[in-house]
């Protein structure tokens, strides 16, 4: 859902895309930070599920969706959850900013199927002015990925998107019943695959398929086994591999970044500073 589609969806007042996940290699979902002018905005039914999270100072607003009328003051973090096929009309008394997260139906259905949900629960719910601390936390993390100057970590974004869908469902029996750990052989198989594929684009679906389990179950079992989320483990291993290569002094930082799976040198430098507290240049100097 690009900026042009969003603008064409609202003929009354302009909507300007300030930031977008377009080009960040996120698959099945995305996000945009939108600047919305005061006035009325009519949004037709779209093919994507959407979550609109209000950003910034409170704004008085009215909306009509699925025959429901709702008058409210939108506060920072309030969210409207709109399923695919639902349109509506939103009227804002003053300019506002919205973080819009969207999921295509295939991505959502795949997540629900992996959770082994009954048909009655496997749906994207309509909710207006929802307040949920975890949804907010995930939304701000996605916004931070949009604001980052360097390329986003697609694996991390996928993890955030999946977690947001699971949170919208609520308690999931299939997850509650699997609070154990990965079997030693399964854990070794997974970590060996990660070690041999650090230079490639890894996805949660690929890693879950390796063990024939669902993505949500992989996230739960991996954290219980290793104590950290999947994406964090992979980033740590990439940083450690990069440090070892930089200390040899045989190849430059730009090439090292590609060798260990970072999109480019500045992406690697950001994670090195965050995890090790030093820059690639300082590590190369120490090696010399």
- Split at pLDDT 50, 70, 90, the class of 124 is confident
Structure-model confidence comparison of residues 143 and 181, the more confident one: 143
* Residue (of 54, 14, 61, 13) closest to 33 by Cα position: 54
The answer to whether 168 and 82 are in contact (CB under 8 A) is no
* Mean model confidence pLDDT for the chain: 84
Longest dimension (CA), the chain: 69
pLDDT at position 191 over 80: yes
| SS3 at position 163 | helix
| Distance in angstroms (rounded) separating the CA atoms of residues 165 and 152 | 20
> What letter would DSSP give residue 75?
P
pLDDT exceeds cutoff 60 at 189: yes
* 2 pLDDT above the threshold of 50: no
The string of pLDDT tens digits covering residues 76-85 is 999 999 998 9
Over residues 192-215, the pLDDT tens digits come to 999 999 988 888 888 988 888 888
Output the CA angle 139-141-146, nearest 5 degrees. Answer: 95
Tens digit of each residue's pLDDT (9 = 90 or more) over 67-102: 888 898 999 999 999 998 998 999 999 999 999 999
CA–CA dist 112, 265 (Å, integer):
37
pLDDT value for 176: 54
One CATH from 3.90.1300.10, 2.60.120.10, 3.50.50.60, 1.20.140.10 for 3-168: 2.60.120.10
List Cβ neighbours of 170 (8 Å cut-off, separation of 6 or more): none
Q: 147: which 2 tokens?
A: 């604001």
pLDDT surpassing 90 at residue 51: yes
Q: How confident is the model at residue 105 (pLDDT cuts 50, 70, 90)?
A: confident
Q: Does domain 233-287 have CATH number 3.40.50.300?
A: no
Check pLDDT > 60 for residue 119: no
pLDDT of residue 60: 93
């Amino acid at each position: 859902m690009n900026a042009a589609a969003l603008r064409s969806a609202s003929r009354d007042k302009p909507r300007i895309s300030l930031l977008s996940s377009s080009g960040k290699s996120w698959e099945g979902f995305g996000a945009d930070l939108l600047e919305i002018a005061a006035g009325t905005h009519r949004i037709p039914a779209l093919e994507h599920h959407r979550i609109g999270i209000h950003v910034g100072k409170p704004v008085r607003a009215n909306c009509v969706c699925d025959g429901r009328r709702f008058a409210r003051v939108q506060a920072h973090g309030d969210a409207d959850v709109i399923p695919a096929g639902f349109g509506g009309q939103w009227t804002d008394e003053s300019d506002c900013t919205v973080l819009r997260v969207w999921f295509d139906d295939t991505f959502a259905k795949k997540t629900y199927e992996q959770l082994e949900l009954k048909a009655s629960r496997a749906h994207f719910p309509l909710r207006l002015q929802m307040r949920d601390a975890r949804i907010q936390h995930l939304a701000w993390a996605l916004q931070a990925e949009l604001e980052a100057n360097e390329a986003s970590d697609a694996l991390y974004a996928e993890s955030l998107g999946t977690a947001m869908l699971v949170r919208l469902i609520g308690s999931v029996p299939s997850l509650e019943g699997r609070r154990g750990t990965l079997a030693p052989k399964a854990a070794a198989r997974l970590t060996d695959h990660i070690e041999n594929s650090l230079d490639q684009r890894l996805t949660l679906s690929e890693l879950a398929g390796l063990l024939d389990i669902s993505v949500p179950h992989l996230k739960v079992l991996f954290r219980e086994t290793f104590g950290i989320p999947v994406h964090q483990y992979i980033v740590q291993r990439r940083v450690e591999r990069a440090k070892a290569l930089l200390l040899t002094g045989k190849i430059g930082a730009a090439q090292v970044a590609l060798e260990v799976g970072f999109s480019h040198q500045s992406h690697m430098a950001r994670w090195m500073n965050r995890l090790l507290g030093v820059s690639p240049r300082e590590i190369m100097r120490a090696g010399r």
